[in-house]
Structure 1
Amino acid sequence: MIETRLLRQFIAVAEELHFNRAALRLHMAQPPLSQAIRRLEAEVGFNLFERTNRRVALTPAGASFLQTAREILLSLDNGLARTRRVAKGVDGHITMTFINIAPYSSLLRALRTFRGAHPTVEFTMREAPTHEQVKALESGVADIGILRSPGTTTPELCYETIFFEPFVAALPAGHRLQSHDSIPLNALSSESFVASSRALGQGFHDQIISLCQAAGFSPRITQEARRLPTLIALVASGFGVALVPSSLASNARGDVVFRPISVDAPDNIRHLKLLMAWNRGQGSAVRDRLIDEIRGSMGPDASNKT
């Protein structure tokens, strides 16, 4: 293993082609410099310089090695500079997993602001259901997750609510209740329901069941979907009704009607949380900067922001 100090000493001699001038440039005596070059030549196994009483010149091998030495030191310097930026949280790589985040403009704004302030940070973005995100966060594959309540306890993960919104009913256009400004949830007790699979998001699924049970019935789920946009498409196609986050109602479409629901149930059942999650045992300065950016963009009243 050749020391970087020897490479820098070699480059100085190669550029000056004079041992005394190179020694002055390196702030060292000439004899130790000559010894260092001889040691380097012994390590590489060939002469780097032709030496006479009148001149010092690079050998062809020395000229080739000069290019190599410069590339090595440049790569090292660049690597050290990037390491310092990573340590300061202004460079690095973030893997983020997320459910459908299109309706949450505050979150999108936070990501845009962060990317503008940290253009050298690389992102891997992957849409995934909640249970897959939990596994990715636990294993360290993902740095930050945007998800629903997983419905299970995961000690190594931290969760923070970044949005709090009510459920609304999604009805196919022409539904018998679409003229109502608000729908008593028990009025849907005889309907077929479209819902996401419990295997994809236990907390979200169980909250819908609890909400319907608070209204006095258990929903008859006849179709399941992996993603909310697909669920809405199934509602539009007449496969049933659905209970969905109110943020989805911002994407108006002619074939689905969204209506508020009324039900005598606690706030934590009538409303749905959007969570930011991360692994407390793993992380980086740049990840923590992004967490702070998202947290700051939502503010103290995240439930009132979209």
Structure 2
Amino acid sequence: MQDVDLDPRLLRTFLAVAETLHFGRAADRLHLAQASVSGHVKRLEATLDVALLARTSRTVALTPAGVVLAEHARRLEQATVAAVRETRRADRGETGSLAVGLAAAIPIDLVRPAVDTFRAARPEVVVELREAAWTDPSGGLADGAVDVAFLRPPVDAAGVALEPLISEDRMAILPAAHPLTAREVLSIEDLVDEPWAGSDTDPVWRAFWTAEAERGAPARYATMISSLDGLFDAVRHAGAVGLVPASAAERVAGTGVAFRPVADIAPTTVDVGWHPASEDPRVRAFVAVARRVLRVAPLA
């Protein structure tokens, strides 16, 4: 069968005539001259080599071939409208999926308002939350596993943009029976000679959480950990100390460990991170929602 290239304008004109069964009314609908409508239909018939309309001086009727083409033309028009609509929605980031990373030591409840707000605003975008391994403080951004992430800087991840959303204190975590728990507020000097819990992760991130900048030297490690729960166990059972966000302290208070403020160290922030080179409108929309809903909410 020979391929036929149908002009969408001719199909649209024919469909108007098929639905009105009147050249004049079809011309009014399409804002064309009646002669142009007639000419379009004749060209379409010549292209297909079939009669689509049975014309008399008073009536216009569809031939059997015209009935079939009218139905297909109607479906094509509906599909075209749907294609344009869905294409524009995709361009606005209203459909598809978005992978959101969650770095270690960020409880979902802390950022849930932003996630829920985004889901409510774009219900047809499937939001997939992915908890990153302890060894990946970038939340999955470093290797492109996610589109956007919540993380705690500093992280060594090239090409990642960060925007602070939530600020909270870093707290010292100690065994509940440790002598330092007798003090209400600690200094980093109080912890310098204590055994710390270390981890095999991003050195920049590890240095921040062991306060290397404030102490001026790497920590002495009593044990190695691979999760936040591992840190709690190291404190309980190995006598280690460490630093945790205030939100983590609230989660595990009264479980064999104690927490104290440290006066002379900088706070930690929860940032939203993304690759600026990304042109995905869902990423831009999610960052905007996170900025609006969460920034900047201090937790002390």
Q: Which residue of 1 aligns with 2:195?
A: 191
Q: Does 1:287 align with 2:283?
A: yes
Q: Distance in 2 between matches of 1:236 and 1:66?
A: 76
Q: Which runs of 5 or more structure 1 residues have no equivalent in the other structure?
A: none
Q: Which residue of 2 aligns with 1:250?
A: 250
Cα deviation digits, residues 96-140 of structure 1 (max 9, x gap): 2222542653x3223323333443444333222334633355xxx
C-alpha contact (below 8 Å) 1:95/1:143 kept by paired residues: yes
Counterpart of 2:61 in structure 1: which amino acid? V
Q: Does 1:208 align with 2:209?
A: yes
In structure 2, the CA distance between the partners of 1:90 and 1:166, relative to structure 1 (3 Å rule), is same
Q: Number of aligned residue pairs: give it.
A: 287
Q: With the length of structure 2 as denominator, give the TM-score of the two structures.
A: 0.74
C-alpha contact (below 8 Å) 1:41/1:48 kept by paired residues: yes
2:270 to 271, 274, 278: 274
2:169 to 156, 162, 166: 166
Cα deviation digits, residues 190-233 of structure 1 (max 9, x gap): 5362x4431xx4432121344497187623152321x43x4356
Q: Distance in 2 between matches of 1:144 and 1:7?
A: 45
Q: Distance in 2 between matches of 1:62 and 1:189?
A: 90
Q: Distance in 2 between matches of 1:305 and 1:46?
A: 76
Q: Which runs of 5 or more structure 2 residues have no equivalent in the other structure?
A: none
Q: Which residue of 2 aligns with 1:8?
A: 12
Q: Which residue of 1 aligns with 2:71?
A: 67
In structure 2, the CA distance between the partners of 1:220 and 1:263, relative to structure 1 (3 Å rule), is farther
1:124 to 119, 123, 128: 128
Give % identity: 24
Report the secondary structure of 2:140's partner residue: helix
C-alpha contact (below 8 Å) 1:234/1:240 kept by paired residues: no
Q: Distance in 1 between matches of 2:71 and 2:161?
A: 49
Q: Distance in 2 between matches of 1:202 and 1:3?
A: 63
Q: Distance in 2 between matches of 1:40 and 1:203?
A: 69
Report the secondary structure of 2:123's partner residue: coil
